[in-house]
Structure formats: structure tokens, C-alpha cells
Amino acid sequence: MNIITDISIIEDLASTRQEENWRFRSYLKGADIAGSRIDTAVHMLARWISKQIDCGKCANCCKSCSPILQMPDIQRMAKHFNMEPESFQQRYLENEGEENGYSFRERPCPFLQENRCTIYRQRPNDCRSYPHLQKTDFVFRLSQAVSNCSVCPIVFNVYEELKVRFWKARD
């Protein structure tokens, strides 16, 4: 397996393969493959590929994604800066709607410096979980995975390998 790490190449390939990626999504959603089998493959691939990618060289997720922050995230980050949560919200966040939480007002993330998170221990739960490949029920999050193929080298490479493992039999 050839792992691609250059984000500009990944963005180009994800764009070129977008239609194919959506077709694979449709295939996986309708295939007679146990969700647990797909999850096991995703988890194994994500662990293996993650070990070969230095997120600090990329940090594209921090540059292009908007994590959704909930009140515990806001309180944790505000405390780190010795601020009241309301002041933190006013300075850094915008409301995504009452149920949806908050997001950072600007991109890249205001706490990203030289591809490193300056609040790593206090980072939002959405960031802690990214790229969300360790979660179960991958088949129900395929739209998110397709979208993240152009953002994250880990997601891109996992998705490409899934196509080889589960889709090649169709040819």
C-alpha cells in the first residue's frame, strides 16, 4: 500500500475521485457486508496509517475544518485563558444554532501556530476525536468520510484502501 501524505496531491486526487468516492459510499451502504467487518477494517487501517503520518506536518484539519464546540469545551478553553466562558465565546466563537453548538469564528483555528495546537490539552472534543475513524458504525458516517478525504491524509488513505479491499471484487 502506497501512502500519500502530500496534502496538495490528496486534494487533487480527492477532487478527481469525488464521483468514484460517492459511488463507493453508495456501494458500501447497500452491500451485504457486516458493519462490524467494515468497522474492524477501518479501525485497523486507521491505526496503521496514523502511525505513518505526522499530523503536525499537515494540520490541514485545523486550517480548513470548523469543529463544533459544546459548553464543556468552551468552559475548558476559557479556564485555560483565565476567561469567563461568555468572554471566550464573544472573542473566538460564533453560534451554530442552539442545538448545534459553536464554531470558531475564523479559519485557520485561532490556536494553531506553526502547525501545532497551542491548547492541545484543552482542545475541543470534536478535535480530539478527529478524524473520527475510531468510532463504530462507519457506514452511517460515510458522507463525512467522503468529505474528509480532501482534508485529512489519514482519511484519504483509509478510504482508498477500503475501495481496494471491499470494492475490487465488483470488477
Residue-wise pLDDT tens digits, 55-72: 999 999 999 999 999 999
| CB neighbourhood size of 136 (10 A) | 14
The neighbouring-strand residues paired with 69 are 102
Q: What percent of the chain has pLDDT over 70?
A: 98
Decide if 147 contacts 131 (C-beta within 8 A). Answer: no
Whole-structure pTM value: 0.93
pLDDT tens figures, 151-167: 999 999 999 999 999 99
Scored b (16 or more CB within 10 A) or e, 68-107 reads ebeeebbebbbeeeebebeebbeebbeeeeeeebbbbeee
* Contact status, residue 115 vs residue 56, Cβ threshold 8 Å: yes
* pLDDT mean values, one per 10 residues, the chain (171 residues): 95 97 96 96 98 94 95 97 97 84 95 97 96 96 96 98 85 52
What angle is formed at CA 25 by the lines to CA 19 and CA 30, rounded to 5 degrees?
130
